[in-house]
C-alpha cells in the first residue's frame, strides 16, 4: 500500500505521454488527473504522423491494453521509405512486407483519440494552463493555473513538452536551438488535387538532401501529405529576412532561390502546398539533462529529454509513461516509485540524447543511411 492511501497524482500535459501514464495508472486502480492547456480535444491541429516502435511505443500500448486497437487504426504501409537525390532519382526504396509491424504509422490525432477514449470520464481537465508550482510548508505541491485556480498534488508529472512549466520545479535547463529549422507545408486531397506529389511520396515517406538543404515528405491519413523543408538556419531566419510567418509568397520565393538547383518535381513540394507554411525551429535540451531527485515532481518525454525529431520522441515519451505508471503501481510510496523510475529513465534518455546530439544535421546529409535506415521527422 502507498504511504498516501489515495495519492493525488497530477499529470500536466495531455499528449501521448501524459495520456498513456494516466491510462496505465487507471488500469491498476490508481486515479490521476490530467491538466491540459488546450480548451478541448479539437482545439488545435495535432500534427502529422507517428511511427510507434515494437521495442518502446508498442510496449506502452500493450500495458495500456490498447495494442490491438492501435494495429486496427495504424497504417503499416506507411513504413514505405524512398530516398532520393536532388534530381529526383530514387537511391533507396524500402517497401514493407505485408505483415511488417515493427513501426507502423498512425496520425497523432488518431492516437490521441485512442488514448482519450480509454480514460475514465473527467480524467482530462481542459483549459488548465499551468503558471507555477510551489511546495507549501506542510507538504504537498500546489499547482497554480492561469485562470486563478489551484490544485494540491502528492506527485506532479511533467508531460508538458519542450517548454515545460513543470521542469522549472526541478531543473534550470532550457532548450537550445540546434541550428536546424523545419518549415512544414500541407497538401490536402492529394489523390485528386496533387496526384504527382502523391505518386512521388507513395504510401509512406520520401526524402532528399544535398548537404545544406533537405525535404522530407510524409503521407498522413485522410489523403493528406505533410512536407518538412529542412534547412541549416537560425531560429529567427524568417523575421531576419524581413518577412513574417504569414508571408507565404515571400517565403516561397526565398525557398525557390535556395532550392534552385533541385529538380522541378521536388520543387513542387515547396510551391504547391495548400495554405501557409508552419515554422518549426528545432530545439533540444542540453546533454545530459538530469536533476536532483524530488519525490513530489518528475518529468517524462520532451519535458525530460527534448531531442531532435529523429523518430524517437513519442516512443520514449510513451515508454517513460509506462515505466512511471508501473513503478507507482508496484512501490509502497510515491517517492520510491519516482526514484526507481528515474534510475532507469535518466540513463536511457542520456544515452539516446548523446547519440542524437547534433544529429539534426544528419537530416541534411547526402549519406544514404541517414534516411534509409533511420527514422525521419
Integer CA distances (angstroms), 228 to 104, 182, 265, 322, 361, in order: 20, 6, 16, 30, 14
How does pLDDT run across 177-228, given as a tens digit for each residue?
A: 999 999 999 999 999 999 999 999 999 999 999 999 999 999 999 999 999 9
H or E element in which residue 126 lies: none
Integer CA distances (angstroms), 139 to 142, 298, 335, in order: 9, 16, 13
Task: Pick out the residues of the known binding site for FAD.
Answer: 51, 108, 302
- What predicted TM-score, i.e. pTM, was given to this entire model? 0.93
Return the CATH architecture of domain 177-284+361-372. Answer: 2-Layer Sandwich (3.30)
State the chain's maximal CA–CA distance in angstroms.
67
Integer CA distances (angstroms), 296 to 36, 181, 305, 377, in order: 19, 36, 19, 33
What is the rounded average pLDDT for all residues in the chain?
92
- Sorting pLDDT into bands at 50, 70 and 90, what band is 368? low
For CATH 3.50.50.60, list the domain ranges present in the chain: 9-80+100-174+285-359
Integer CA distances (angstroms), 141 to 49, 53, 83, 126, 169, in order: 35, 35, 50, 20, 10
CA distance 226 to 206: 11
3-state secondary structure of 26: helix
For CATH 3.30.9.30, list the domain ranges present in the chain: 177-284+361-372
Task: Pick out the residues of the known binding site for NADPH.
Answer: 44
How does pLDDT run across 23-77, given as a tens digit for each residue?
A: 999 999 999 999 999 999 888 777 789 999 999 999 999 999 999 999 999 999 9
CATH superfamily of 9-80+100-174+285-359: FAD/NAD(P)-binding domain (3.50.50.60)
Would you state the pLDDT for residue 5? 65
CA distance 330 to 85: 51
Task: Pick out the residues of the known binding site.
Answer: 44, 51, 108, 302
Would you state the pLDDT for residue 377? 57
Amino acid at each position: 500500500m502507498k504511504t498516501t492511501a489515495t495519492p493525488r497524482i497530477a499529470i500536466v500535459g495531455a499528449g501521448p505521454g501524459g495520456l498513456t501514464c494516466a491510462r496505465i495508472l487507471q488500469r491498476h486502480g490508481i486515479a490521476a488527473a490530467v491538466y491540459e492547456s488546450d480548451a478541448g480535444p479539437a482545439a488545435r491541429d495535432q500534427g502529422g504522423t507517428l511511427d510507434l516502435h515494437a521495442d518502446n511505443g508498442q510496449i506502452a500500448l500493450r500495458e495500456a491494453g490498447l495494442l490491438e486497437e492501435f494495429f486496427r487504426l495504424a497504417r503499416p504501409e506507411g513504413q514505405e521509405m524512398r530516398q532520393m537525390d536532388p534530381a529526383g532519382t530514387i537511391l533507396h526504396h524500402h517497401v514493407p512486407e505485408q505483415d511488417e509491424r515493427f513501426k507502423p504509422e498512425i496520425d497523432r490525432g488518431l492516437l490521441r483519440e485512442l488514448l482519450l477514449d480509454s480514460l475514465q470520464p473527467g480524467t482530462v481537465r481542459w483549459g488548465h494552463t499551468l503558471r507555477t508550482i510551489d511546495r507549501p510548508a506542510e507538504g504537498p505541491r500546489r499547482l497554480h493555473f492561469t485562470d486563478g485556480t489551484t490544485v494540491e498534488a502528492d506527485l506532479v508529472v511533467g508531460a508538458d513538452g519542450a517548454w515545460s512549466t513543470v521542469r522549472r520545479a526541478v531543473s534550470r535547463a532550457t532548450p537550445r536551438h540546434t541550428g536546424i529549422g523545419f518549415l512544414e507545408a500541407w497538401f490536402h486531397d492529394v489523390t485528386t488535387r496533387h496526384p504527382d506529389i502523391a505518386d512521388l511520396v507513395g504510401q509512406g515517406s520520401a526524402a532528399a538532401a544535398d548537404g545544406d538543404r533537405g525535404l522530407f515528405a510524409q503521407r498522413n491519413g485522410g489523403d493528406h501529405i505533410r512536407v518538412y523543408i529542412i534547412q541549416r538556419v537560425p531560429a529567427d531566419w524568417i523575421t531576419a529576412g524581413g518577412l513574417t510567418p504569414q508571408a507565404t509568397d515571400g517565403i516561397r520565393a526565398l525557398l525557390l532561390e535556395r532550392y534552385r538547383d533541385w529538380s522541378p518535381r521536388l520543387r513542387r513540394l515547396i510551391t504547391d502546398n495548400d495554405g501557409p507554411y508552419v515554422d518549426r525551429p528545432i530545439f533540444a535540451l542540453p546533454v545530459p539533462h538530469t536533476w536532483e531527485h524530488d519525490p513530489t515532481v518528475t518529468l517524462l518525454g520532451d519535458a525530460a529529454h527534448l531531442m531532435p525529431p529523429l523518430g524517437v520522441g513519442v516512443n520514449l515519451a510513451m515508454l517513460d509513461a509506462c515505466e512511471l505508471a508501473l513503478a507507482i503501481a508496484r512501490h509502497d510510496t510515491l517517492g520510491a516509485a519516482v526514484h526507481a523510475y528515474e534510475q532507469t529513465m535518466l540513463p536511457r534518455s542520456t544515452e539516446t540524447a548523446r547519440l542524437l546530439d547534433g544529429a539534426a544535421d544528419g537530416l541534411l546529409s547526402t549519406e544514404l543511411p541517414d534516411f534509409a535506415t533511420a527514422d525521419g521527422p
